[in-house]
Amino acid sequence: MCVAPRLFETKRASYFFQNFELRMSELSAPSDATASKLNLGVARARPKVQAQQIDYALHTLGWASFQDLCASVFEVVFSRPVAVYSKTHDGGRDGSFKGFVNWPLDPNETRDSTLQTKHVSRPDTSLTLAHLAEERKKVQSLVQMGRAHSYVVMTNATVTATEARKIEDAFISDGVLEFSILGRDWINKKIHENAKIRATVPRLYGLGDLSWIVDERAIAQAMEVLGSLGNDMRCYVRTKAHLKSVDALLKHGFVLLIGEPAAGKSTIAANLAMAAIDISGCDVVRVTGPSDIVKHWNPHEKDRFFWVDDAFGSTQYNQDSADQWNKVLPTMAAALKCGNRFVLTSRDYIWRRARQDLKVESFKPLLEGRVVIYTEELTKSEKERILYNHIKFGDQPPFRRLQMKPQLESIAALPNFKPEIARRLGNSLFTRDLDWTPDGLKKFVDAPRQFLGDVIRQLDPAARAAVALIFLNGGRVASPIADDKSVRMIETTLGVSRPAIKPAMEHLNNTLFLHIVESGQTYWTYKHPTISDAYAELISAQPELIDIYLRGAKLTSILQEVVYGTKTIKGAKLRVPRKLYGVLASRLQEAQPRAQRLFLLTRTDSEFRKKYLKLNTQALSYEIGFGNPLVRDVQSQFFVCAGREGLLSKADHRHIVEQFKHEIINFGDVTFLLDDDYIEFLGPKALSELMETARLDLAPRYAEFVSGFAGECDEDDPESFFDDNVQALEALEALFPDDSEIVGHVQAAHAVIDETVNEVKERSTQSDDDDSWRYDGEHYSGASYRSTPSTTPSFSLNRPHSIFDDIDK
């Protein structure tokens, strides 16, 4: 019985890369100065020398991944589709193609040929005819069935010219019309020469060096990207989520990667960034938030790749960022039109909250370009390959790999399996006290935070101090480590000196910690954000440690990571008990009034607010300013809340009413006058006053008001540009339903909007001036994998029946 071949979805990935401007054939050898930088932080199995001798450590891939790689190389080099069959019942061959490799493919070609791979786990293996004994047993049957007109063997072993002639003569005598054997040096050379191959098999970036880059700026950026992943790049598995991300970039130049913690969002983003550097020579800019996008965007430069990790908050939603994002969305739209690209990541529960405050309707890619990553959507094969790679590249001794080997397929099939679980299982630090029974391994997958907490508890004092220092500094600390307040706090409370912390970090680099470079500055950070989550859980159970944190942590960390009293925010790292009110209040006084109000509204309960504002009245009277619409603005929401709780004086209330009047006159915002919370806050007298302002001072000039900024209308989506104004006009009609003058003013304003939208549509062209990076199906010339069910009888295979069969080798 035969099974259908596995379909390798590289076509969409190829689309992303086909038209980029960089031509690898034009690259020259790097300078000595450049080459000296190539050994930094890149995984390799042996010392690398000149470009033509690059070794991608193919023996470390495992047979299944090597088979995938060979299919990608073959398809790109020989420009023809390949059907690759599943690991059992493959009809005596790993893959099939049409025609002869030494002749161009005729579209009407029907002659069937065979692709066979031979993977060896020893890097010094030299292939001989004896290694292909099993293949020769099957080749005559394939010839008789017309399945081996051409027969190609691809291997990661070395092949001498003498042995190649012997092997070729033997297969020709078996009836093959054309025979080719492609060895390790040939495969390495093709990978080095062809950026499309590297992009479709991204883990290659973690196996070879970077000598394919000749620009020193690009080398520095590539090193930053690789450094952000540590050793994870070489374990990368291209999943459906990766391919969907490529599709989103093709269609919109934008992708938002959403998923659970440890789902692999940042790893996908990093691989997209590496491909952008490799293929198009993109200038990769890794930014921390919306303000950095404005800072780094240059309207005269295109092909920049902006990467924003945890765009809306690292472990919980940062509500103050919504207004910043809303302001920068027009800039991002303009940047997209110039050929720039954006990749954002966010935890799923944070995105659900952020979406409520973002003006997503004014930035269509934020809706259409979204790629949702849920680990349960990983296929069985993807999970197994992820687990295989992390075990194979991990530091577990052979006896331990042999012990877990029978359970690995079951582990990959568990509902709670995630890529980060695979990484920990491959690292002996995380499995010191693991019960290696099936039940123990299941618990390791199902309760990862508990196990991670146990690991942190068992660290030596210097390593625990290193974990604490990074936590105190909000997730990363500058390197070299300075003698600052947080370090002195660690020395005083934990008894560990600064000189002892650095060796501990170095010892656990790529395990618990990462030494990274961003924009020329080096930092120590956690290997994965879940380490911060686990440490926060440990602190929460020890009030004395919360006290230490509040006194020693950076103020920005406190404002973004803690909640007080009965307040609940999903993802908040610490809950401050009431007995530590004084410590928290003292630190909050250091913040600017706007930051104080945001914290008071979103992270404390009414008891804290009442107690704090009684002694800190400046928070009610300084730096008052609102965004619009008011109903979405957190600062205005604070004053509505404070009014409801009786925390405002008459003078305070009057000042806010005047500010609301300013919003009506200058920004045309009246929607809040229909909101029950704002109506209650205003009271009948102030509400009547503001409605009169809207009727007399806003409505008669709304058409003129809209005309004043109509010239800024977005050519890509002119209707959405006026969404807030349309809502305001609808609010005016609702506020004054029987006022004919208001109706006339509203109609006049609508007329201006409609006229502007029509004019913009008429003069707008087909989007970007340079569309070369976008997919054009009619001009696509690359090959793609196709699934063509095998009709040949099955043979017993001289290869593993499970991807894990060689895991202990």
Q: List, in sequence order, the alpha helices (H) in 694-776.
A: 702-707, 718-721, 723-735, 740-763
The pLDDT of residue 15: 33
Whether the per-residue pLDDT at 342 is higher than 80: the answer is: yes
| 291 vs 145 pLDDT, higher one | 145
For the cut 60, the answer to whether the pLDDT of residue 214 exceeds it is: no
Distance separating alpha carbons of residues 312 and 325, to the nearest angstrom: 9
Mean pLDDT in residue range 566-587:
88
Residue 519 has pLDDT above 80, yes or no: no
Question: Over 50: is that where the pLDDT of 778 sits?
Answer: no
Checking if the pLDDT of 193 tops 90, the result is no
pLDDT of residue 492: 86
Contact (Cβ atoms closer than 8 angstroms) between residue 351 and residue 360: no
DSSP reduced 3-state for 628: coil
Query: Looking at 51-60, 88-97, 355-364, which range is the least confident one?
Result: 51-60
Contacts of residue 509, defined as CB under 8 A and 6 or more positions apart, other chains included, come to: 230, 515
Separation of alpha carbons 571 and 317, rounded Å: 8
The residues pairing with 208 across neighbouring beta strands, listed in sequence order, are none
Q: Give mean pLDDT, residues 762-789.
A: 38
Average pLDDT score over the chain: 80
Residue with tokens 């054997």: 181
The b/e string for 744-756 (b: 16+ C-beta within 10 A; e otherwise) is ebbebbbebbeeb
Confidence category of residue 776, pLDDT binned at 50, 70, 90:
very low
Chain segment 716-737, per-residue pLDDT in tens: 667 777 888 888 899 999 999 9
**What CA–CA distances, in Å, run from 38 to 31, 390, 634?**
11, 24, 48
pLDDT value, residue 756: 84
User: Quick one: average pLDDT of 310-320?
Assistant: 80
Q: Region of 565 please: left (phi>0), alpha (psi -120 to 50) or beta.
A: left
Q: Which H or E run includes 613?
A: helix 606-615
Residues ≥6 apart with Cβ < 8 Å to 530: 261, 262, 420, 448, 449, 452
Phi-psi region of 580 (alpha: psi -120 to 50; beta: other; left: phi over 0): alpha
Q: For the CA atoms of 612, 617, 622, 624, what is the dihedral angle to 10 degrees?
A: 70
pLDDT on residue 409:
93
Asked whether residue 52 carries a pLDDT value surpassing 50, the answer given is no
Q: What percent of the chain has pLDDT over 90?
A: 34
**What is the pLDDT at residue 175?**
94
**What confidence category does residue 581 fall into, taking pLDDT thresholds of 50, 70 and 90?**
very high
CA atoms within 13 A on the CB side of 331: 16
One-letter amino acid identity for 724? D
Mean pLDDT of 339-353: 87
DSSP state of 6: B
- Label each residue of 439-450 as H, E or C: HHHHHHHHCHHH
Crossing angle, helix 216-229 and helix 265-275, to 10 degrees? 160
**What SS3 class is residue 153?**
strand
Residues with Cβ within 8 Å of residue 478, at least 6 apart in sequence? 521, 522, 523
pLDDT band at residue 216 under the 50/70/90 scheme: low
Average pLDDT over residues 236-258: 84
The residue ranges of every structural domain in the chain are 11-205, 239-374, 380-446, 624-713+717-763
Tell whether domain 11-205 is in CATH 3.40.91. Answer: yes
Alpha-carbon distance of 75 to 197, in angstroms, equals 9
Q: How high is the pLDDT of residue 768?
A: 41
> Do 668 and 710 contact (CB within 8 A), yes or no?
no
Angular region, 154: left φ>0, alpha ψ -120 to 50, beta rest: beta
Cα 665 to Cα 697: distance, rounded to the nearest angstrom? 7
How confident is the model over 30-55, as a mean pLDDT? 37
Q: At residue 701, does pLDDT exceed 50?
A: yes
Instruction: Give tens-digit pLDDT for 429-482.
Output: 889 888 999 999 999 998 888 888 888 888 899 999 999 999 888 888 999 998
- The separation between the first and the last C-alpha atoms of the chain, rounded to the nearest angstrom, is 31
* pLDDT at residue number 704: 87
Cα separation, 809 vs 805, in Å, equals 9
Contact partners, residue 326, CB within 8 Å, separation at least 6? 357, 358, 359, 362, 627
Could you tell me which residue, 798 or 186, shows the higher pLDDT?
A: 186
pLDDT at 648 over 90: yes
For residues 358 and 344, give the distance between their C-alpha atoms in angstroms, rounded to a whole number.
14
The secondary structure of the chain in percent helix, strand, coil, rounded to multiples of 5, reads 55, 10, 35
Per residue in 375-398, pLDDT (tens digit) is 557 888 889 999 999 998 889 999
- Residue 368: predicted pLDDT: 66
Residue 287 near residue 249 (C-beta atoms within 8 A): no
CATH of domain 239-374: 3.40.50.300
pLDDT for residue 109 is more than 60? yes
**pLDDT above 60: residue 766:** no
- Give the rounded distance of the alpha carbon of 180 from its chain centre: 40
> Which one-letter amino acid corresponds to residue 423?
R
Q: What is the DSSP letter of 204?
A: G
d(CA 96, CA 81): 9
- The tokens of 294 are what? 């404005």
pLDDT, average across residues 577-602 = 92
**Block residue for tokens 């491959």:** 426
> Which band of pLDDT confidence, cut at 50, 70 and 90, is reported for residue 26?
very low
Rounded-to-integer distance, Cα 120 and Cα 211, Å: 26
- The C-alpha atoms of residue 539 and residue 548 are separated, in whole angstroms, by 10
Question: Which sign does the torsion angle of CA 214, 215, 220, 222 carry?
Answer: negative
Q: Closest by alpha carbon to 456, among 515, 524, 512? A: 512
Q: Identify the residue with better confidence: 322 or 152.
A: 152
Q: Quick count: other Cβ atoms within 10 Å of Cβ 303?
A: 17
Inform me whether the pLDDT recorded for 35 exceeds 60.
no
Note whether 806 and 46 are within 8 A (CB).
no
If we measure between CA atoms, which residue out of 473, 469, 440, 475 comes closest to residue 454? Answer: 440
Q: Which pLDDT does position 755 carry in this prediction?
A: 86
pLDDT more than 70, % of the chain: 82
Residues paired with 308 in a beta bridge: 287, 344
State the average pLDDT over residues 685-713. Answer: 88
- The predicted model gives 525-531 an average pLDDT of 86
